[in-house]
Chains A and B, each alone.
Chain A
Amino acid sequence: MFESIEDVKKKLTKQNYLINYRAATAVFLAVKLQKPLLIEGPAGVGKTELAKAVAGALDTSLIRLQCYEGLDESKALFEWNYQKQLLRIQSNHLTDKTWEETRANIFSEEFFLARPLLQALKAENTVVLLVDELDKSDEEFESFLLEALSDYQVSIPELGTVKASSIPVVVLTSNNYRELSDALKRRCIHLYIDYPSFERELAIVRIKVPEANKVLTEKIVQFVQSLRKMVLKKPPSISETLDWARTLVLLGAQSINEELVLNTINILLKYQQDIKKVEERISGLLPE
């Protein structure tokens, strides 16, 4: 467990995740109050990574439920192991078992596949349950999740009611593709992660791409930070900064110049209109 906000900071840093004080406070509170932590913010600022780092810091496993359109409660809870069932049917076929026997057999616990949500509830010790990109799921799924998280139990016809043996640390993330319900938000500790400050981004690049020399790293971060001041359709995120840094290292760059930037800009920017905008005023954007 975490002892204090400072302790959160320290332990996450050990996981190579650099966190600011505000975010550390939210993590600390969520864990202590046993409330879900809802993290919002643009793509690539470290939402998913934070959940992983928390699991690492607490020395426990991370169970991840990736959301998508059409995800429903049964897929989040359990499935029958269809392939294994088929195999059993085939092999039983060769014996003298009746169909009734086979059927009773293949719908038993042995063929049962617990999906993330159920796994998290059934886990012996406290795990981290990451419900990633919740905004991509449908509203019906969201309300099901809200119910499951309000008393940490679910009822499944085949199994009865399953109650968490130890309450998991729950992290929900959203890219704001759709607005989450007020009811869900009310239950959560909220954290908005924005693009990082210059100092923090510099530190992140140093940790994640130590091969890059000091000057190069600084120039990279300066440039990315100045891009974020422009009005862009999709500003570069930390993940893009890291990709760019790795590419430049591969290219053997010691520093950046106009030509190099223009040749690699598509790593930072995904939209043609953004690239055009930057090309037009590239000289003003480059650090001295």
Chain B
Amino acid sequence: MTLDKNILQFAVLLRKAGLNVSHSEVSEALKALALTGMDKKTFFDTLSATLIKDQADMRVFEKVFEYYFAPEFISSQRDHSGLLSAIINTDSQSVSQNDCQGCDRVPGTEIGRSTGFGQGQGLATAAVDNFVQVIKAGIPEDMSRLVKRGVESLGRLDEEDLEDMKTAIRQVKVFLEWNMGIYELEKAAADLDAKTWLTWQERLNSLEDKLYRELEKKLINELGTKALETVLIRENLNQLDFYRLSAPQVAEIRKKVSKLAHKLASRLSFRYKRSNRGQVDLARTIRKSMSYGGVPIKPAYRDRYPTRPEFVVLCDLSGSVRVFSEFILQLVYSIQSRYIHARSFVFVDTPDEITGYFQNREIEDGIKDIYNLAKFSRTAFSDYGQVFIDFNEKYFDVLNKKTTLLIIGDARNNYHREHAECLRRMCQQVKKSIWLNPEPAERWDTEDSLISLYGRLCDQVFECRNLEQLDRAARKIV
């Protein structure tokens, strides 16, 4: 296969992972490669400078690069084997597993997976010590070796591991005594300065990242193209389910949300600018002309600023919905000061108002304060019915014919009483009511989900499981 074809294939994979790479950029990349050297670093820099135009995309780019241009991969491509055969051919893992004989192995892992309980009692301290040492020293090679050993403890991987990586990750962590290690580090850090702890934390994060990558690489090596594509599609931020985001993905989506906020804001500001020219208000012109004996000397204009749209936002902060609710709060508050008027409430089993938390503050600080100060949970279990009752009682007067009521949640009510009549009363009081549900539609109304029952009372219900859908819904609403 020629280099050109490889780059084209690489671009296809980038697109699968959610990055917008145009044809013109690919041809630019090819031209650029002809000008620069072919060592891996230059190769990487050349491709990234021509194909990636947004720093937020860099992490995903690095990943696709690492997996696609893996040494095994490139070498196998020279003898014109395609993507598929290349991946199959890199099954050298079994060899390197033998290199690990000298390491402290937990007995029993050769046969089955560790379950996490009572495993390798005698060696536990050795594993913890090793973990702690690696973090304290922070030598990248040692960190890589550690996660590699951890991932190898899983033995052969199958489809199930690809489906549910979190479980596999948990097993590796048990094997490496990860949580015990963190506990030891926290204890040690208590006597040290803040800087050291910050450094360790950084290393822990990077170790976790390495762990995911190592597992993904092993999956790709053992399961082939399909695994590569599955792994990359999972990186596609636009289509990633909100309820299964990793920490770096949450951070990246946050950036995308603020981009969305910018876009919405500039649309709104455009609306204002247009109305700035002012339309003649005929009725008022005539009324004004009365004082001049009916001669319309001065035309009256409509308000220069259309009244800001008013929102009341009600966010479920329980469990897996939480991440999504935080995105919504971020969105609301990035455009609120100038373009919309919003009052916000959070709830688990009772609502509390948090509008003031964001006034002249950073969004992160506001969100932190919600968890520290707001009183939105008595039992820690969702209870929509109770929330609607309390809202009617305490806050009903914030609703009126000018407001749009926005409810964010999965409508999972823990089998509590529904109290639909309270929600109906709220919906009837406002101009418009909209429910955003971050859960995949195929799970609506299963188990304790009451989304259809509640949704019927609202004017609109949107499935909002990923960025793409959030983008669409936001544009419709604002």
Contacts and interface: CB of A to CB of B under 8 A. Distances in A.
Interface size bracket, B side: 20 to 34
A178 interface: yes
A33 B49 contact: no
A22 B50 CA distance: 12
A219 to B, nearest CB: 14
Interface in B47-63: 48-50, 52-55, 58
Contact of B49 (A189, A231, A283): A189
Interface in B8-61: 20, 22, 24-25, 28, 31-32, 35-37, 41-42, 45-46, 48-50, 52-55, 58
A283 B24 contact: no
Contacts of B198: 226, 229-230
B54 A185 contact: yes
B36 A284 contact: no
Given A29-B35, A284-B195, A185 B263 contact: no
Contacts of A191: 49
Contact of A186 (B53, B195, B266): B53
Interface string A177-220: 01100100110111110000000000000000000000000000
Contact of B28 (A35, A179, A230, A281): A35
A225 B12 CA distance: 38
A26 interface: yes
Contacts of A132: none
Contacts, number: 76
Contact of B53 (A139, A185, A233): A185
Give chain B's interface secondary structure class: helix
B45 A281 contact: no
A33 B37 CA distance: 15
Contact of B46 (A25, A185, A230, A283): A25
B271 interface: no
Nearest to A183: B22
A25 B50 contact: no
Interface in A251-288: 281, 283-285
Interface of B: 20, 22, 24-25, 28, 31-32, 35-37, 41-42, 45-46, 48-50, 52-55, 58, 193-195, 198-199, 202, 259, 262-263, 266, 362, 364
5 contacts: A25-B46, A29-B35, A179-B259, A229-B202, A285-B194
Closest 10 A/B residue pairs (Cβ):
A284-B194, A284-B193, A185-B53, A25-B45, A192-B55, A26-B49, A190-B53, A22-B45, A281-B194, A29-B32
